Amino acid sequence: MVKLNWNTKIPPDINKLKTQNFEPLLIVEKLGSPINEKVESSRQVKSSGIIRDWYNQLIWGDNISVMSSLVKQFAGKINLIYIDPPFATGGDFNLKVQIGEKDHSKKHALLNQKAYSDNWKEGLEFYLNFMYQRLWLMKELLSDKGSIYVHLDWHVGHYIKILMDEIFGADNFRNEIIWAYPAASVKTRNFFIRSFDIILFYTKSENYVFNDDPKIYMEYSERVKNALKRDEKGIYYYRGGSHNGKKLSRKVYITHNGIFPRDVWNDIPYIRANTKEYQGFSTQKPELLLKRIILASSNEHDIVADFFCGSGTTLAVAEKLQRRWIGCDVTKHAIHIVKKRILDISNSKSLIKKKNKYNKVYQPFKTLQTKVPINHQRIPQDFLQRKIQNSIELNILDNPEFSVDIKIKNKEVIIEMQDYIIPHIDLISENVKTQVKRFSDWIDFWAIDFNHIPEMFNTLWVSFRTPKNRELKLISSPYIYENSGTYTISIKVIDILGTESIQNYEILIK
């Protein structure tokens, strides 16, 4: 077998990974079925069918640490992995942050924040080691009947193909899928315009799951659709031919509304800002792309994982298709966006009935993080005054403070958010401050745990903004305690800067 070698290539010690006791992931928050004003507003929300004894997992951390911690419990148990890793493009990619609700002109105040950097200053070898170590771990986590899809483009796809041959075996290569999409306006005339990504599809073995599901089919061409006719036997078209110089034709009846997918997918557009599923990520992938992959290479209740989960498309699609899921990302903003996307999933589009809402509540999930904290900057560089960027230690700043009014009547409690104060307001750029019109504009998300137990937040009510629904409730729904006693209420607020603040209150229920 041909292998790709470089000076610093270091294969992981898989046997050591299996026997080493890695620090367990810390459970930060559980989200069972909190009262959610966005779900409450839809009167016909249905259950998605709870999978017993399972919580989906959304994990904040470097994925090599996360996967190392998962190996002991999940080695050989994950049925499908899809990843959309950095492409080694040399650029930075932005996330659009919205402020407050719509103004009178029906426009949102928008800020650009760097979502992640794809600039590998240490060189290509560093990137290859980054991917090599992680792909080995993914193979270890994958079940014997499992599949992995790696989404890339022209920058490094050819290198990763050789690494995948080494790790998964050249015989387990199934497809190089071309996802072709309309090219944006490009000024270059120095080469042909690039308008496709590649997706490398490998399996763990020759005995793998692959479903001939009509819901993954590609539509017929316009020529075929225009030629379709119907008679008492069904829908058909004429297939032509000739014999001894005579033209022949015969009826061909169709059993599916489309054709089994080829390896060139030109029927799935990329995500635009005006689409309902848009989350503000410049590299967000469409749900229809993941729908085809997940339906083809997994079954209901299988575990689907994405260790570069970004805006959460893989997890949202897995949720809608009744799969279990594990997602991980190194940026805290990504984890926050995915959490809101899953909480609001009942209001997203159905993948089966395209014109309908999904209209089902999510499966219970929990957020976790690695024990060694990630170096998370308190205020993103893009939101700081230019003159003080890189000049202060932002992680030692005090947390913002908020004030609430807690109304208690018998055993019923209602909480109203009344103010939100940022102690380091002088550090924030004028571009941000001028777009904040009221205290609530700082708040992107707030949640309440009405019976808090130390070390884990149990979300029982939540209100948050989404890209398409900017309303934020400042008064909670009533919560009724069954028994008298002293309780701790914990309130969590996440603001537009990504800062999380938690305050606890002790109350007496008579």
- Residue-by-residue DSSP string for 14-55: HHHHHHS-PPPPEEEEEESS-EEHHHHT-TT-B-----TT--
CA distance between the termini of the chain: 74
Mean pLDDT, to the nearest integer, of 272-285? 84
- Of 4-13, 25-34, 99-108, 399-408, the poorest mean pLDDT is in 99-108
CB atoms closer than 10 angstroms to residue 393: 8
Do 452 and 337 belong to one domain? no
| Residue 365 within a domain | yes
pLDDT in the model for residue 140: 95
Which one of 336, 369, 402 terminates a domain? 369
pLDDT band at 243 (very low <50, low <70, confident <90, very high): low
Mean pLDDT confidence for 429-447: 88
Q: Take residue 99 and report the two structure tokens written for it.
A: 């402020």
CA distance 491 to 413: 13
Same domain? 172 vs 313: yes
The band of 483, judged by pLDDT with boundaries at 50, 70 and 90, is very high
pLDDT range class, residue 376, cuts 50, 70, 90: low
What is the DSSP track for 117-181? E---TT-HHHHHHHHHHHHHHHHHHEEEEEEEEEEE-TTTHHHHHHHHHHHH-GGGEEEEEEEE-
In which domain, by residue range, is 318 found?
14-212+263-369
Q: How confident is the prediction for the chain on average, in pLDDT?
A: 86
290 and 426 belong to one structural domain:
no
Q: Is the pLDDT of residue 245 over 60?
A: no
Contact 507, 487 (CB under 8 A): yes
pLDDT at 449 over 90: yes
In a domain, 308, yes or no: yes
Q: Which of 24-28, 73-77, 120-124, 361-365 has the lowest mean pLDDT?
A: 120-124
Are residues 72 and 100 located together in one domain of the fold?
yes
CA-based nearest residue to 498, from 408, 432, 409, 426: 432
Least confident of 100-114, 300-314, 445-459, 486-500: 100-114
Whether 242 and 297 map to the same domain: the answer is no
Q: What is the CATH number of the domain that holds 111?
A: 3.40.50.150
From 295, 290, 315, 296, select the one nearest 305 (Cα to Cα).
315
Mean pLDDT of 130-150: 96
Q: So what's the pLDDT on residue 386?
A: 64
- Domain endpoint, select from 310, 338, 369: 369
Q: Which DSSP string corresponds to 421-455?
A: E-TTGGGB-HHHHTT--SGGGGEEEEEEETT-BTT
Quote the tokens at residue 240.
């032509």
pLDDT, residue 43, reads 42
Count of domains observed in the chain: 3
300 and 388 housed in the same domain: no
Q: What is the dihedral sign for C-alpha 367, 370, 373, 378?
A: negative
Whether residue 279 sits in one domain with residue 390: no
Q: What is the mean pLDDT of residues 142-170?
A: 96
Residues 247 and 301 in one domain: no
Q: What is the pLDDT of residue 394?
A: 56
- Predicted TM-score of the model (pTM): 0.90
Q: Does residue 87 sit in the same domain as residue 179?
A: yes
Closest CA to 373 of 330, 414, 338, 310: 330
- Specify whether 337 is located in the same domain as 475: no
Would 71 be classed as within a structural domain?
Answer: yes
What pLDDT does residue 377 have? 58
pLDDT of residue 367: 96
Residue 447 sits in a domain whose CATH number is 2.60.40.10
Q: Supply the DSSP string of 325-367, one letter for each residue.
A: EEEEES-HHHHHHHHHHHHTGGGSB-SSSTTSB--BPPPPEEE
Q: Is the pLDDT reported for residue 382 higher than 90?
A: no
What's the rounded mean pLDDT across residues 338-349? 94
Residue at 7 is within a domain: no
Instruction: Report whether 208 contacts 146 (CB < 8 A).
Output: yes
pLDDT tens readout for residues 20-55: 667 789 999 999 865 665 555 444 556 666 667 899
DSSP state letter for 307: T
Going by their DSSP bridges, the two strands 78-83 and 303-306 should be labelled as: parallel
Domain termination site, one of 338, 369, 400? 369
Based on the domain organization, do 317 and 437 belong to the same domain? no
The lowest-confidence range among 170-174, 365-369, 420-424 is 420-424
Structural domain contains residue 311 = yes
Structure-token pair, residue 58:
């959304």
CB-based burial, 353-391: b 16+ in 10 Å, e otherwise = eeeebbbbbbbebbbbbbeeeeebebbbebbbeeeeeee
Which residue did the predictor score with more confidence, 493 or 35? Answer: 493
Decide if 295 is inside a domain: yes
pLDDT band at residue 473 under the 50/70/90 scheme: very high
In a domain, 376, yes or no: no
User: Mean pLDDT throughout 168-188?
Assistant: 87
Cα gap 143→223, rounded to integer Å: 42
Q: Which helix (H) or strand (E) holds 385?
A: none
Residue 132, amino acid: Y
Looking at per-residue pLDDT, the higher value among 15 and 423 belongs to 423
Kindly report, residue by residue over 51-73, the tens digit of the pLDDT. Answer: 678 999 999 999 999 999 999 89
- Count the alpha carbons within 13 Å of 363 in the hemisphere toward its beta carbon: 24
Residues 317, 429, single domain; the answer is: no
Is residue 9 a part of any domain in this protein? no
Report helix, strand or coil for 381.
helix
> How confident is the model at residue 392, as a pLDDT?
54
Cα gap 185→477, rounded to integer Å: 48
